[in-house]
Structure 1
Amino acid sequence: MNAGPTPDDGVLTELRRHARQLVDELDGPVRRVRLRSGDTVLEVEWHGPAQPVPTPRDAPAGQPVAAAEQPAAALLVRAPMVGTFYRSPEPGAAPFVAVGDQVRTGQVVGIVEAMKLLNEVTADRAGRVVELLVEDGKPVEYDQPLVALDPA
């Protein structure tokens, strides 16, 4: 008798998708990935040759710059969850940050809406905004880079 999908099946499917995306974004060989969401853990380890990772020149023209293509010194503010990214607190309001702005640790740089809840996205460290990587009102994935900061 099949008991059907468990509540963790959806979480595990989402973790698998995030693992694939993470491997695609990294700029070096991947040997091991471990992701956790609540009590569900996905751990993948490769024992053979390292997985090939696309180089920046393989990316189609016009796509946003991926994390692997950011300058080594750039700090990335990442999406805390899947949802819709907004640069301002409400339509027509000034954006939280713009390119060139200096931000402090903990400062709100955007909002991710998920299931009608607005979740603040804050900078982990201080820095100057060098690039906004996602347009206002666009869908984002968990851990997707949103804002690039120069720590200087």
Structure 2
Amino acid sequence: MRPAELPARPGQAAEEPVAGDETSGLHHEVVELARALPGPLRRLTVRSGDRAVEVEWAADAVPAAAAPAPVPGGLQAVAAPSGPAAVPEPAGEEPEVPEGTIAVRAPLVGTFYAAPSPGAEPFVRVGDEVEAGQTLGIVEAMKLMNPIVADAAGAVAEIRVGDAESVEYDQVLVLLRPSGGPR
């Protein structure tokens, strides 16, 4: 749902933003920034306190000479590091999903947790048999714990992320070998 589709609050106009509304101005500036930046974005983080913006491009998406565009309102774009200090990216776009396995993917960006609490036993281990709907892990996003469940029954063939590791949308988290399939 877009902000324009939300019902108006009592005493507020439905179409027009409130004069001096910081949130609507920041929203407008972020949209302008995203449109002005070169190449496909991997991540765009906005903080309202002291108005900072962090921008991360997909690997090999930004030409060497590209620089962040200035944005009205004093927002500042900070590109992700691209030298030896940068976090190494995997060689391919996404590791291949082996034939005969089912990929369980991250439904959102967040932090993956293999256990319900620190020090507890993990939800599953490689080799465990799981049922459809069984919890395989948790992705925490914005202080909300989102269960990651098996789409089908099978055995856990591989867990591709570590505990407390950041995950991206649609990243393969776990590979399942369907029940009755080759081992």
TM-score, structure 1 normalization: 0.59
Paired with 2:151 and 2:108, the residues of 1 have a C-alpha distance of 15
Percent pairwise identity: 47
Taking a change above 3 Å as real, the CA distance of residues 85 and 11 of structure 1, as seen in their structure-2 partners, is farther
- Show the counterpart of 1:102: 129
Secondary structure of 1:106's match?
A: coil
State the AA in 2 paired with 1:106. G
Taking a change above 3 Å as real, the CA distance of residues 149 and 7 of structure 1, as seen in their structure-2 partners, is farther
Paired with 1:145 and 1:85, the residues of 2 have a C-alpha distance of 11
- Candidates 138, 141, 160, aligned match of 1:114: 141
- Residues 3-58 of structure 1: CA distance to partner in whole angstroms, max 9, x if unpaired? 77449939999x9648x97xxxxxxxxxxxxxxxxxxxxxxxxxxxxxxxxxxxxx
Paired with 1:7 and 1:132, the residues of 2 have a C-alpha distance of 39
Paired with 1:126 and 1:142, the residues of 2 have a C-alpha distance of 23
Which structure shows the higher helix fraction? 1
- Show the counterpart of 2:166: 139
Moved over 2 A (4+): 3-13, 15-18, 65-68
Paired with 1:67 and 1:149, the residues of 2 have a C-alpha distance of 15
Paired with 1:67 and 1:82, the residues of 2 have a C-alpha distance of 18
State the AA in 2 paired with 1:119. N
Paired with 1:7 and 1:121, the residues of 2 have a C-alpha distance of 34
Paired with 2:141 and 2:103, the residues of 1 have a C-alpha distance of 21
State the AA in 2 paired with 1:99. V
User: How many pairs align?
Assistant: 108
Paired with 2:177 and 2:147, the residues of 1 have a C-alpha distance of 21
State the AA in 1 paired with 2:98. P
Taking a change above 3 Å as real, the CA distance of residues 71 and 140 of structure 1, as seen in their structure-2 partners, is same
How big is the shift at 1:126? Answer: 1.1
State the AA in 1 paired with 2:166. P
State the AA in 2 paired with 1:131. E
Secondary structure of 1:118's match?
A: strand
- 1:78 equivalenced with 2:105 (yes/no): yes
Taking a change above 3 Å as real, the CA distance of residues 11 and 98 of structure 1, as seen in their structure-2 partners, is farther
How big is the shift at 1:80? Answer: 1.2
